[in-house]
Structure 1
Amino acid sequence: MKKTLKNNVHWVGKVDWELQKFHGDEYSTHNGSTYNAYLIQEEKNVLIDTVWSPFAAEFVDNLAKEIDLNKIDYIVVNHGEVDHSGALPELMKRIPSTPIYCTANAVKSLKGQYHQEWNFNVVKTGDKLDIGNGKELVFVEMPMLHWPDSMAAYLTKDNILFSNDAFGQHYATEKMFNDLVDQCDLYKEAIKYYANILTPFSHILRRKLDEIISLNLAIDIIAPSHGVIWRDNPMQIVEKYSQWANDYQQNQITIIYDTMWNGTKTMAENIAEGIEIADKEVEVKVFNLAKSDDNDLITEVFKSKTVVVGSPTVNRSILHSIAGFVHLMHELNFKNKKAATFGCYGWSGESTKVLSELLNKAGFEVIDEGLKNHWAPDQDGKLAAIEYGKKIAKA
């Protein structure tokens, strides 16, 4: 069932209440997601994006109830990733000659995934598509936000920016608009989305935001491809992105560890106590990696000024769970953050050295060589961890 955004612009997407993992198993979606597709019905009828392939047949059938498919004049593909383009093959079986407007890289993506020679029309920043009644779609390339093929489309007169993956959230809701949902839930999902998907491209995003602002577009609605549509003060999410893109941090220190026989856990808790003693203002959070969600932890890292990582020594190295998480942080290219390390050992004690080297390569400013504790912490070991926490707080 279509829902109206404004005038002759309608949502025709799919709410996926059951989605728990995205990008394979890489991204957790505790609150499901939506695949937002949009239908513009002016003198020309335009479909902007489709939905993920498991819902392709349902999408096409529902769309056919809203409009004679043969009356769709143009299809705009803002991004070729399968969660947006997955229903295209099913749709193009019905209307195979319909023009598709997308970037040159999107042509490569769509051909590479679906192996079809559709009626591709390549667009670049500033190109316009006349859709009648004095309205145009203006295209803005957005490479690496978050794929090389990404773009946005702006509808004149209605002042709607179809932003694709920028400004979205994995958040299933029937409410559709930002002013109708719980604001805490909305921003929790929005910052998680940014931290896990867009952080590596923050330097590109800063330039793109400046470019969009310089176009002096009146924006009444921002319609992303996932989650709610921003109609109430839509620039609030642009302002948030401007903050998040500038090496964001809050007054937070996050401790992340894994443990074998709870010695490293004891160290983590005492380090947290020391931080709190030394700085009453800082927010301290402690997470056992084995009992936490990686993407939720990445969000906490994103918010933190310092990350403290702990692992016992295993086979002269660290636990593979911690190694994988540090690798994930490395991939995301965090900036302007400090790090410290700790861990228990029984025999050789290399974990803090290994962790410090990995965190340094991941772009963190490592405070020192780390705190090691021989065997399980006794009272002196606990006091040493408290003192180490004080040192971290003052660093």
Structure 2
Amino acid sequence: MDEPQPLKIAEGIYWVGVVDWNLRDFHGYETPKGGSYNAYLIVDEKIALIDTVKASFSEEMLKRISQIIDPAKIDYVISNHVEMDHSGSLPAIMDIATNATLIASSKGKSGLCEHYREMGCDNWNFQVAKTGDEISLGKRTLMFIEATMLHWPDSMQTYLREDKILFSNDAFGQHIATSKRFDDEVEDVMEDAAIYYANILLPFSGQVIKYVEKVKELGISIDMIAPAHGVIWRRDPARIIEAYGRWARGEAAQKVLVIYDTMWGSTEKMAMEIAEGVREAGVEVRVRHLRKNDWSMTMKELMDSPVIAIGSPTMNNKMFYTVAGFLTYMTGLHPKNKKYFLFGSYGWGGGAVKGMEKEIESARFELATESLQVKFRPFEDDLKQCRDIGKRLAEIAKEEAKS
């Protein structure tokens, strides 16, 4: 049987990762396109492995490496991030490459020792790296860049100076499974990157801005970005760095996002009238039913929407369970520069809107206008009010997009 093959991405540089075709959930982030765990091997006078893969795929990674060199000859293993989808195969590698130096940030070393203390960590030869530190592989030089909170405290990136390749770990990635390895070979890669950002890096937008500034200060030229997930950016990689800047700044479009769930259709009727009011006012509107659309894509739509309308029916005197779950998910990601409108329906107890208001207030989010709830089902005057509110939200979106 043929062994898994590596892929040369530049002279002496190989992708030795794995594709996870069946990945559908990444700690709550829906991944309908699957995913990948990317590791990279650099062969010079010294041999370096940058990142590993999820533990269950360690054998496949080792087989790819073995097509190029004996894994025991690896001189350096660079761990850019402690999270187990990247570090899970470290014990397997370190058991084979017993003379290898393991390079990580200071917090990376601490995290790896805490996580793998019963799997040989005491015997690993650590070297702690700080921003600007370098090691020579012979003809090539690796420089390390601390990327704190992108998206863990230990996060680090590795820059291959002579080839101008940035091994960016979790930054600039996408969750997609594909046999292709480069951005110019796949469709919709920027949208996949936006979904990834919205669900992984959105809470750390302040740190993203600082990171982009740090890269500029370092004055490094980047011809290729090789992330730990998804495809490699080789066609104008500056475009994904620029996109991260836009997303981090929360740049808004003239757009309103309507998110809702419904039991007997009353809240849905309100949602559709609000959406129609937005449309009539000449502003783009997107509508997302929470049980018919994945939350990950909804968060992507939310990124450039300055106004968000959220609707829920009342169930057991509380907001509907999907709305409650989504609010927990959304507030955890903490999108900035948004204004919210809350609406819903009820029978004999109006707890849904009150519950949503409490969540929005607790997250210190801003309401666009007073909430609206109707009893049992919306009649003509209620529907007119919903449409008028949609027009009002559209005007707010126009103003927010200007600022």
TM bracket (short chain): over 0.9
- Does 2:16 match 1:21? no
Write the deviation string for residues 226-267 of structure 1: whole angstroms up to 9, x where unpaired: 111111111110011111110232222111111111111111
Tell me which of 183, 186, 189 is aligned to 1:186: 189
- After superposition, the C-alpha distances for 1:123-168 in whole angstroms (9 at most, x for unaligned) are 11111111112x2101010010011111001111111111111111
Give the AA of the match of 1:244.
W
Query: Could you tell me how far 1:271 is from its partner in structure 2?
Result: 1.1
Corresponding residue of 1:223? 226
Q: Is the 8 A contact 2:144 2:159 kept in 1?
A: yes
Range 196-205 or range 93-102, more displaced: 93-102
- Is the counterpart of residue 11 in structure 1 residue 12 in structure 2? no
1:334/1:364 contact within 8 Å kept: no
Structure 1 residue ranges (4+ consecutive) displaced by more than 6 angstroms after TM superposition: none
| C-alpha deviation, 1:320, in angstroms | 2.3
Is 1:199 matched with 2:205?
Answer: no
**CA-based RMSD:** 1.4
Alpha-carbon separation, structure 2, partners of 1:308 and 1:150 = 35
1:18-54 deviation per Cα after TM superposition (whole angstroms, max 9, x unaligned): 211112xx11111111111111111111110111111
Q: 1:233 corresponds to which residue?
A: 236
Aligned counterpart, 1:174: 179
The 2-side partners of 1:323 and 1:20 are apart by 22
Q: Distance in 1 between matches of 2:210 and 2:277?
A: 40
SS at match of 2:318: coil
Task: Output aligned runs, 1:85-234, within 5 Å.
Answer: 85-115=87-117, 116-117=121-122, 118-133=124-139, 135-182=140-187, 185-234=188-237
**Would you say the 8 A contact 2:169–2:227 is kept in 1?**
yes
- Give the distance between the partners of 1:369 and 1:30, measured in 2 at CA: 37
What is the alpha-carbon distance in structure 1 between the residues aligned to residue 353 and residue 24 of structure 2?
A: 34
Partners of 1:367 and 1:158 in 2: CA distance: 49
Which amino acid letter does the alignment assign opposite residue 9 of structure 1?
Answer: I
Q: Which amino acid aligns with 1:123?
A: A
SS in 1 for 2:319: coil
- 1:78 to partner: Cα distance: 0.6
Which of 241, 251, 254 matches 2:254? Answer: 251
Normalised by the length of structure 2, the TM-score is 0.93
Q: Secondary structure at the match of 1:291?
A: coil
- Summarize the alignment of residues 72-91 of structure 1 with structure 2, pairs less than 5 Å apart: 72-91=74-93
**Which residue in the other structure is 1:386 paired with?**
387
Match of 1:310 in 2: 311
Amino acid at match of 1:36: N
Q: For the residues of structure 1 that align with 2:49 and 2:248, how far apart are their CA atoms?
A: 31
Aligned to 1:327: 328
Q: CA deviation at 1:391?
A: 2.3
State the AA in 1 paired with 2:35.
Answer: S
Q: In the alignment, is the contact (CA less than 8 A) between 1:33 and 1:227 conserved in 2?
A: yes
Counterpart of 1:179 in 2: which secondary structure?
A: helix
Structure 1 distance, partners of 2:141, 2:181, is: 24
Q: Distance in 1 between matches of 2:164 and 2:155?
A: 20
What are the ranges of 5 or more consecutive residues in structure 2 without an aligned counterpart? 397-403
Q: In structure 1, what is the Cα distance between the partners aligned to 2:79 and 2:73?
A: 18
Give the Cα separation in 2 of the matches to 1:9 and 1:294: 37
Task: Name the TM-score, length of structure 1 as normaliser.
Answer: 0.95
Equivalent positions of 1:269-348 (< 5 A) are: 269-277=272-280, 279-280=281-282, 282-348=283-349
Shift of 1:351: 2.4
- Which AA in structure 1 matches 2:192? E
Query: In 1, are the aligned partners of 2:18 and 2:60 still within 8 Å (CA)?
Result: no
AA matched with 1:66: I
Alignment of 1:366-381 (within 5 A): 366-381=367-382
SS at 1:245 equivalent? helix
Any idea what the Cα deviations from partners look like across 1:89-135, whole Å, max 9, x if unmatched? 122222233210001111122122222221111111111111112x2
Q: Counterpart of 1:163 in 2: which secondary structure?
A: strand
- Structure 1 residues without counterparts, runs of 5 or longer: none
C-alpha distance in 2 between matches for 1:248 and 1:355: 25
Distance in structure 2 (CA, Å) of the matches to 1:58 and 1:367: 52
SS of 1:129's partner is: strand
- How many residues get paired? 388
373-382 vs 135-144, greater mean Cα deviation? 373-382
* Distance in structure 2 (CA, Å) of the matches to 1:137 and 1:96: 21
